[in-house]
Amino acid sequence: MRLTATLLFVIQFDDPHETVPHSHAPDPSAVEATKSATRIRQVVRENPSLRPSQVISQELQTASGQARAGIGSKETVRRRVRRQKRGLLPAEPTRLDTLVLPDEFKSTGEQPPQPFLIYDSGAAAAKRMLVFASNDQLRHLATANRYRRVIFLNN
């Protein structure tokens, strides 16, 4: 449902006056649903490392049943959150020699950050190689038998 109204602002921008009367009754649940959706987008913008399900669950716990229904299905909200998170990511590189990794992609998202990029052959290398692993992943690899090491390295 899309509502439109025209507002007239005085020069001080602090006293809006409605010039077109509303043609519907107020709907508090629609307002709450819009506010919840806005809060979800804001949390995603401020905390891009949070999983969509975490953000959505936190917001839906405090929303009323009518507002939850007004927000849309969980899958629709997840899709919106994923779309917004994609917009926060840097553009995908077209060539490895021009790839510049921001510091936030060189470590894990936990606190304190742990190294994640453990090897970069450099942009000048003929065949650039980047190796990513957390300390936990390296411990698992070190304790794995030979067969499992091949699986770890291929995944």
Number of domains in the chain: 2
Residue 112 in tokens: 């304190």
Instruction: Give residue-wise pLDDT tens across range 21-64.
Output: 667 777 888 888 888 888 888 888 888 778 888 888 888 888 88
Q: Give the span between the Cα atoms of 6 and 22, in whole angstroms.
A: 10
- The answer to whether residue 147 sits within a structural domain is yes
pTM for the full model? 0.46
76 and 146 both lie in a single domain = no
Residue with the two structure tokens 């905390």: 47
Instruction: Answer yes or no: do 115 and 79 share one domain.
Output: no
Task: Provide the pLDDT for residue 102.
Answer: 82
In a domain? residue 2: no
Q: What are phi and psi of 94, to 5 degrees?
A: -95, -20
- 106: containing domain: 96-154
pLDDT at 10 over 60: no
Q: Do 64 and 121 belong to one domain?
A: no
Q: What are phi and psi of 28, to 5 degrees?
A: -60, -35
How far apart CA 44 and CA 51 sit, in angstroms, is: 9
Number of CB atoms found within 10 A of residue 133's CB: 16
* pLDDT tens profile 79-122: 888 888 877 777 788 887 788 888 888 888 777 888 899 998 88
Give yes or no: residues 13 and 70 share one domain: yes
Distance CA 63, CA 95 (A): 45
Strand extents, DSSP E, 40-149: 117-120, 130-132
